[in-house]
Amino acid sequence: MITVKNLHKTFQTLNGKLDVLKGINQNIEKGEKVVIVGPSGSGKSTFLRCLNLLEQPTDGEVWFEGVQINVPDCDINQLRQKMGMVFQHFNLFPHLTVLQNITLAPITLKLKTQEQAEQQAKQLLERVGLADKAEAYPVQLSGGQKQRIAIVRALAMNPDVMLFDEPTSALDPEMVGEVLQVMKELAADGMTMVVVTHEMGFAREVATRVLFMDDGQVVEEAAPDQFFTNPQNPRLQDFLSKVL
Partner 1 sequence: MYALTAALPLAYFSEFPQKFYDSFILKNRYTNIVFGLGNTLMITFFAVIIGIILGTIVALVKVTHNNDKSKLKFLNAVCSIYLTVIRGTPVVVQLMIMWYIVFQPPVNLDRVVAAIFAFGINSGAYVAEVIRSGIQSVDKGQVEAGRSLGLNQRDTMVKIVFPQALKNVLPAIGNEFIALLKETSVAGYIAIQDLTKGGDIIRSITYDPYTSLLAVAGIYLLIVMGLTALLGKLERRLRRSDNR
Which positions lie near partner 1, rule CB under 8 A? 52, 54, 77-81, 83-85, 87, 89, 91-97, 104-105, 108-109, 137-140, 150, 153-154, 157
Report the C-alpha gap between 21 and 85 in whole angstroms: 20
Burial 124-154 (b: 16+ CB within 10 A, else e): bbebbebeebbeebbeebebbbbbbbbbbbb
CB of 198 to partner 1, least distance (A): 20
**Shortest distance, position 127 Cβ to partner 1, whole Å:** 19
Contact assessment for residue 198 and residue 36, using Cβ atoms and an 8 Å cutoff: no
DSSP 8-state code for residue 26: E
Whole-number minimum distance, CB 161 to partner 1, in Å? 12
Q: Which is nearer to partner 1, 105 or 131 (CB)?
A: 105
Tell me whether residue 95 or residue 242 sits nearer to partner 1 (CB atom).
95
Nearer to partner 1, 81 or 217 (CB): 81
Nearer to partner 1 by Cβ, of 153 and 209: the residue is: 153
How buried is residue 215: exposed, middle or buried, by Cβ count under 10 Å (0-12/13-18/19+)?
middle
Compare residues 87 and 212 and give the one whose CB is closer to partner 1.
87
State in angstroms the smallest separation of the CB of 101 from partner 1: 9
Residue 6 Cβ vs partner 1, minimum distance, rounded to whole Å: 24
User: Do 224 and 201 form a contact (C-beta atoms < 8 A)?
Assistant: no
Pairwise CA distance, residues 209 & 35, whole Å:
6
Dihedral of the alpha carbons of 41, 195, 112, 65, in degrees to the nearest 10 = 90
